[in-house]
Structure 1
Amino acid sequence: MSNNLLDVIGNTPVVEIKRLNKHKKVKIFAKLESANPGGSVKDRIAKYMIEKAEESGELTKKKIVLEATSGNTGIGLALLCALKGYKLRIVMPETMSLERRQILMAFGAELLLTEGCKGMPGAIEMANQLAADPKYFLINQFGNPNNPLAHYETTGKELLEQVKPLDMFIAGIGTGGTLMGVGRRLREESPRTKIVGVEPYPNHKIQGLRNLGEGYIPPIFDINILHEKVNVTDDDAYDTAKDLARIEGLFCGVSSGATVAEALRQAEDMKEGNIAVILADGGEKYLSTDLYTCPYRR
């Protein structure tokens, strides 16, 4: 039993993907970040970024917490702010799923929507403009060192304990926090592990991931942490996410489809070994999107 909801963030389970993976000498293990109380991997960074700001004195009850997000970080922050009594304003593109907006409002967050055609850069620009007002405390997940630190101290440590030996680690490129934090830990403690970052192609529809060539590279992102950067198509991401639900019983978001699609491809090139992949969130936030409204194609 836990006396505090924040204490159950992290230590998420790992399960083997068996039916989709046909290569029996290569095992694929999925870390289920939907098991966090806010439903995604972003609960980890929300906790770290809020609590580190409190410790430094930058964040007080007089401040309004402000952040630009495509959804999951906002939900993690909304959970934290509800528990701790902070006001929260979230800036996000209008193209993000209806479910994400509803969850944010359920936690009491105020939403400011930006033009969908401007994507996340447009939301980041608005948040930076608002942050000039001293009443705000801007989280700045894309440049906040406590984002990768959360994964260095928690996610990376957990994976090293859960998957032995760990031959390959695969995660999607979003803010870069998961890859940078886990990647640095693996570089230090498991140099045998190949670190693979997954990005979509330009003009993609994979919520939560970004193509680094589309104009904005997060300041916390260091390409040198990766051994390989690969592209995954929208179709592969969507189809694999649906496969995960229908074949493995894993109800997840489209970015998880992208990372597992790459894990399955990498497995074809390996003789044996263990691959760990991050399933960043569950599928509940995508029920109104093409992921679950379009017919199953397999």
Structure 2
Amino acid sequence: MSGVLYAIGQTPIVPLARLSPPGRMVYAKLEWHNPGGSVKDRPALYMLRTALEDGRLRPGGLVVEPTAGNTGIGLALVGRALGLEVVCVMPARFSPAKKALMEAYGATVVTTPAEGGMEAAIAKAREIAAVEGGFVPNQFRNPANVQAHYETTGPEFYRQLEGRIDAVVLGGGSMGTFTGVVRYLKERLPRLKAYLVQPEGSYLVGECGPHKVEGIGADSPETTALLDCALVDGVWKVTDREAHAMLQRLGREEGVLPGGSGAAAAVVALAVAAQLPEGARVATLFPDHAERYLVQGILGRFEEWKKP
């Protein structure tokens, strides 16, 4: 395994000491410390390594994946480190910075019309793979996505917080992080409460429309196959404006600047903590850094923050 792949995982966790409600504490895991800059390095490694081991992917073969960005970056990094060719298919509405990073890591990027959402990207990826003979990891249905978090992210949370977690709050895009982390933790902490964060416009909160927060949200059931609903104690909607306001506070008061999905998770984690008894500890995860969204104006005024 290539040297850079050993740097995936074991990311730090920090208390949000200033923003947490009195007598409670929210802890955030900073996933931008992975070499590809996001939590998606974890499933990228697991999906490709598993496929190579079971023969679905040949050494030097072609990987084709529909992605909103971070998974593509992870696959490009991991794929090239493993000697594979990588093609990423992404809706045009997502971050141009992510597209540039995929290409910098050696991937070929194909864009699909923004209005088609992830469904159009999935269809295009399948088409390319059928013509070129490529392997489609399909993060939205690949059990290795869940397994990556069950075997790494979940145990890290448990160890870093010494098994003392009352609630976990996680955003959901492919749903691999949520299902893997929560399954691991609930097996050891039966009283744990787990809350799924969704942006405005997600069908999981009864809506359908665009949103500025990237990386989480569900366009349709096609993208939620990995979600184990039995693990969900509640689904919370966060508006773009709420996420943006929280991002400003996180930077100025805590010295951390996650992307919009991390800021949305913080909104819910702090709200959940406020409802729990004194002494409660809430865990959350910041998937990536705000630097990835500077082109969209995420750090400016809300009106300047562009929708993907």
> So what's the TM-score if we normalise by structure 2?
0.91
Superposed displacement of residue 133, structure 1:
2.9
- CA-based RMSD of the aligned residues comes to 1.8
Superposed displacement of residue 221, structure 1:
1.5
Corresponding residue of 2:190: 191
SS of the residue 2:155 aligns to? helix
Q: Which AA in structure 1 matches 2:150?
A: Y
Deviations 1:244-284 (A, max 9, x none): 12221112100000000101111221222000001001112
Q: Which AA in structure 2 matches 1:147?
A: N
- Aligned residue pairs total 294
**Alpha-carbon distance in structure 2 between the residues aligned to 1:110 and 1:44:** 21
**Alpha-carbon distance in structure 1 between the residues aligned to 2:150 and 2:90:** 27
Corresponding residue of 1:179: 178
**Alpha-carbon distance in structure 2 between the residues aligned to 1:60 and 1:3:** 17
**Alpha-carbon distance in structure 2 between the residues aligned to 1:62 and 1:248:** 44
Deviations 1:32-64 (A, max 9, x none): 101101110000000101111111011113521
Deviations 1:94-143 (A, max 9, x none): 11111111111111110100001111121112112223236201011000
Contact 2:63 2:136 in 1 (8 A): yes
**Alpha-carbon distance in structure 1 between the residues aligned to 2:270 and 2:262:** 12
Whether 1:277 and 2:284 are equivalent positions in the alignment is: yes
* Percent sequence identity over aligned pairs: 38
SS of the residue 2:32 aligns to? helix
Superposed displacement of residue 296, structure 1:
9.5
Whether 1:256 and 2:250 are equivalent positions in the alignment is: no
> What stretches of structure 1 move > 4 A for 4+ residues in a row?
none
Corresponding residue of 1:89: 87
> So what's the TM-score if we normalise by structure 1?
0.94
**Alpha-carbon distance in structure 1 between the residues aligned to 2:135 and 2:2:** 28
SS of the residue 1:40 aligns to? coil
Deviations 1:176-222 (A, max 9, x none): 0001001111121111211110011212221101136x453422112
Contact 1:242 1:296 in 2 (8 A): no
Residue segments in structure 2 that go unaligned for 5+ positions in a row: 202-208
Whether 1:206 and 2:213 are equivalent positions in the alignment is: yes
**Alpha-carbon distance in structure 1 between the residues aligned to 2:19 and 2:25:** 11
**Alpha-carbon distance in structure 2 between the residues aligned to 1:189 and 1:34:** 27
Whether 1:162 and 2:168 are equivalent positions in the alignment is: no
Q: Which AA in structure 1 matches 2:183?
A: R
Residue segments in structure 1 that go unaligned for 5+ positions in a row: none
2:110 alignment partner, one of 112, 121, 131: 112
Superposed displacement of residue 293, structure 1:
3.8
Deviations 1:152-184 (A, max 9, x none): 001111111111410001110100000100111
2:125 alignment partner, one of 115, 127, 130: 127
